[in-house]
Structure 1
């Protein structure tokens, strides 16, 4: 389980470290930095997939995602005595992301490239450093894999450092290129764990949503990020997962309703049979809220739970009456996987807050802060 998340230099997250639990709820007003925190987790996951540079490019490039304020705030500025002004930097410009748990910790530092007229890719951010350590805190003794520029080195069981890569490109991560089942099994293990993280923030429920149309069905233990394979995912839960939990989840949200999956000619389709109706309602007939709840149920009741699941504003399109059942569903899922929920729905936050770590974000002078929490100890690797 991830117990600490650290972000520095990313959008409104100038320098923030938060503690996470098995179930964590991140909340705050619009513009407080919830989406930035969510995106920072996605960037960490993209590192393990080898596409963090491309993801930053999709956000407008490193220059568009960097913290736009000064390097630090003086007491006079915080008190409103002096205006906010730029100052001479003492540290290099960087975007830093990291996390740690009881077993492993990882951090990456992305910076600006050296200006050159020999390439058209001169605006690409470069990976300056990466570090992998044991335990929740980076120390000299806990560090066992690091990347500095093009060099990657690993510390063996005897405590001796060994170079495993000397020419790593600045756009490649050691997570994808230096992981080896013989010489760097810890890198390989953590990479695969990060690749298992699941993000759900684009579960489509519009009129043309793929989940509303029949789809060729195959065993689907993991719901797609857009929910296109909803019917197959629900049927997979019924056959190799927990059909009783699925039935109870439907009954909790829609009393007297029974889920059915039809499969004419191998094309799977969701149907809900409700008391009083002569025929079941097909997915194309369901309200946006009903369909979204089914999508969330398919994600959270997955027979192959991930190490970490992140839900971004799952309350979208849901009637307030569905928020307590959703909270119970999320709490049930948190028994087998770590769940982070980003939400500004007070009712959902209130329901989950009884058993979750609650992270309230506020913005002050353009910077996202957690005024209710003391940040856990954290050390960034030096360049």
Structure 2
């Protein structure tokens, strides 16, 4: 898992050095920097896939990614440690330098610590796109194992044109996509190859949506290469229901349950505000799924939900604030809140503004 993250010069984050645990719930109001922290993993994903320059252009160029733009910042520094608990074993180090309205990857290095000292390997320098994903030897082999799974899951788009509502290729089932666009194909794969996990997902959905009976997944009769999310409602075995008949919250929860209950989840699961549109009962169930999956996958979540944080320990919560025009990140400590926790929940304490994570005011 990621054990330590150091970041400089990125968006609202001037300098960051934080240790990560199995569960990391980023708590804060709008505009304090939660989404910027989460978006770093999208940047790394595109860098890894040799799509870095296109990503920078889509995001508005170098000025939009540098801390207060090129006039104030010239480089983005990323240093990620991987290991177990407090044992840092591998590092991925990137220095990104502004060049006109884009960037040059000034250096991409790795490091390995067998006992006490770090041993560095230098892979690439002064390139526009990285070839790191194709390096399958030495230290890059171990680091690649983590980088290839960095994805930010974002199931917010549930409108009529949402990709998760339409038909998808039935063979597009290697992994659940970050926007849920292959949800039907992935669930169909689980039904055929991991039936116990599939039935557990159905049971979990029924626990928050009593009208739901089961999925009715099968290839499209007119084009067997396509599949769509179809299901049955209790008491209406002959009626037809698809994703357009689901509420936004139920559809999002199906995506979340599928992501967190699959048999071989990603090593790192990153979700941006998963509580949006969910009933409080569904939020509590989501928290339970996060706690369970954290025994084998690291979870990083951004949230503004009182209901969600009430399900976790203070040490699971990273308070996100703004100070001196920069985002700050601080993990809570049970000892510091012990007297308050005797009578109040974490959500209550947050509402009393006793540990920050409140709306940013720089006046």
Q: Confirm or deny a common fold (TM above 0.5).
A: yes
Instruction: Confirm or deny that 1:282 pairs with 2:216.
Output: no
Alignment partner, residue 107 of structure 1: 93
Counterparts of 1:248 and 1:371 in 2: how far apart (Å)? Answer: 37
Matching of residue 240 in structure 1 with residue 193 in structure 2? yes
Q: Bigger CA drift: 212-221 or 43-52?
A: 212-221
Asked if 1:363 corresponds to 2:322, the answer is yes
Looking at structure 2, the residues matched to 237 and 192 of structure 1 have their Cα atoms a distance apart, in angstroms, of 23
SS at match of 2:127: coil
Match in the other structure for 1:142: 118
Unaligned runs of 5+ residues in structure 2 are: 84-88, 334-363
State the TM-score, normalized to the length of structure 1: 0.75
In the alignment of these two chains, the number of paired residues is: 321
Give the 3 Å change call, closer, same or farther, for CA 219–131 of structure 1 in structure 2.
closer
Range with greater deviation from structure 2 (205-214 or 103-112): 205-214
Question: Could you tell me how far apart the structure 2 residues matched to 1:95 and 1:298 are?
Answer: 35
Matched, 1:222 2:203: no
Q: 1:338 to 1:136 in 2, by over 3 A?
A: farther
Preserved contact between residue 131 and residue 143 of structure 1 (Cα < 8 Å): no
Report if aligned partners of 2:74, 2:97 keep a CA contact under 8 Å in 1.
yes
Pick from 261, 264, 270 the counterpart of residue 301 of structure 1: 261
Deviation at 1:174, TM superposition (A): 5.8
Q: 1:299 to 1:136 in 2, by over 3 A?
A: farther
**Contact 2:111/2:139 (CA < 8 Å) preserved in 1?**
no
What is the aligned counterpart of 2:105 among 116, 120, 127?
Answer: 127
SS at match of 1:284: helix
CA distance in 1, matches of 2:297, 2:95: 28
The question of whether the paired residues in 1 share the 8 Å contact of 2:317 and 2:331 is answered with no
SS at match of 1:210: coil
* Alpha-carbon displacement from aligned partner over 1:174-225 (angstroms, at most 9, x marks no partner): 6246x243xxx32133224311223211453111223223444236241122
Bigger Cα Rg: 1
Change in CA separation of 1:221 and 1:171 when aligned onto 2, cut-off 3 Å: closer
1:321 corresponds, among 281, 287, 292, to 281
Structure 1 segments of 4+ aligned residues over 6 angstroms from their partners: none
- The 3-state SS of whatever aligns with 1:332 is helix
Which aligned pairs between 1:136-215 and structure 2 lie closer than 5 A?
A: 141-147=117-123, 152=124, 169-173=126-130, 175-176=132-133, 179-181=135-137, 185-215=138-168
Q: Displacement of 1:126 after TM fit?
A: 1.4
Deviations 1:244-300 (A, max 9, x none): 421331232223632222324234333343334453532111111111111112222
The separation in 1 between residues aligned to 2:144 and 2:292, in whole angstroms, is 27
Distance apart, 1:312 and its partner CA:
0.4
Equivalent residue for 1:96, pick from 73, 77, 84: 77
Counterpart secondary structure, 1:347: helix
- 1:261 & 1:277 partners in 2: Cα distance? 13
Higher relative contact order (CA 8 A, sep 6+): 1
Match of 1:261 in 2: 216
Q: Cα distance, 1:128 vs. partner?
A: 1.9
CA distance in 1, matches of 2:114, 2:53: 26
Aligned residue for 2:229, secondary structure, equals strand
Give the alignment's Cα RMSD to 1 decimal: 2.8
**CA distance, structure 2, for counterparts of residue 312 and residue 277 of structure 1:** 35
- Between the aligned partners of 1:54 and 1:327, the Cα distance in structure 2 is 35
Give a deviation string over 1:29-81, Cα, whole Å, max 9, x none: 111100110111222222222223332222222223211299xxxxxxxxxxx
